[in-house]
Amino acid sequence: MAYTRDQVLAAVNNGSDLVRTALELGDRDDDLLNLVVNTVMSVLDDPETDLDSAIRENYETDPSEVLSWWTNWS
């Protein structure tokens, strides 16, 4: 069975929302789920992509800035 990009995006977002709702996540974890969703879609478009490329594609900042969101969290 083949799926369109929009169907994959909807499924990944819906799955992410189910986790958010069930776990009542905070901002840090919510940001992480968003990063995963964005990276999954980048990999769908280009299986050879790396995390830095996915971040550049989906965020308007340097990858090191996005990755720093999880530095020093306890």
Indicate if the pLDDT at residue 74 is higher than 80. no
Which tens digits make up the pLDDT trace of 39-72? 999 999 999 999 999 999 999 999 999 999 988 6
At 45 the three-state DSSP class reads helix
Residue 73 binned pLDDT confidence (cut-offs 50, 70, 90) = low
User: Where along the chain do its domains lie?
Assistant: 5-62
Which tens digits make up the pLDDT trace of 16-31? 999 999 998 888 999 9
- Confirm if 40 and 25 have CB atoms less than 8 A apart: no
| Count of residues making up the chain | 74
